[in-house]
Amino acid sequence: MKKQSFLAAIVAIASLTLFSVADENHEIIEKVMKEGMKGDESPLALVLDGKASDNQMKELTALILTMKGTKAPVGDQAKYETLVTELIAAMEAVGGGDKGDDAINRLDKASNCKACHTDHKPKS
């Protein structure tokens, strides 16, 4: 009986941990999308249009960096990590001062919503 109770407790703790990680991932991704990337007046739009202040650039870079290590909500984790890694690298390049057309185009491509949403956004 003690063995079953012990196993039940371990399963419960593992379940809570998994739900907690999933919730944290969701919160991070949702925050980046809503606060950094969504809309014509978003910090990302300002960066891509060359209208972002240095402070906005730094804040967006820091916000996007929070996605490092997140797990794919659905779909292939390796593909998701590739997309996130490229988004971070492109943002760091622009945020680090590279305002050339190639860097801006790289960030624009890396921040393409559909690229991630098609394979990694859960269906509601």
**Comparison of pLDDT for 5 and 52, the residue scoring more:** 52
Q: What is the pTM of this model?
A: 0.81
Q: Which CATH number fits domain 2-120: 1.20.120, 1.10.3470, 1.10.10, 1.10.1060?
A: 1.20.120
In tens, the pLDDT along 30-82 reads 999 999 999 999 999 999 999 999 999 999 999 999 999 999 999 999 999 99
In tens, the pLDDT along 57-69 reads 999 999 999 999 9
Average pLDDT score, the chain = 86
Query: In degrees, to the nearest 5, what angle opens at C-alpha 17 toward C-alphas 75 and 6?
Result: 125
Q: Is the pLDDT of residue 5 over 80?
A: no
**Comparison of pLDDT for 108 and 119, the residue scoring more:** 108
68 token code pair: 């490092």
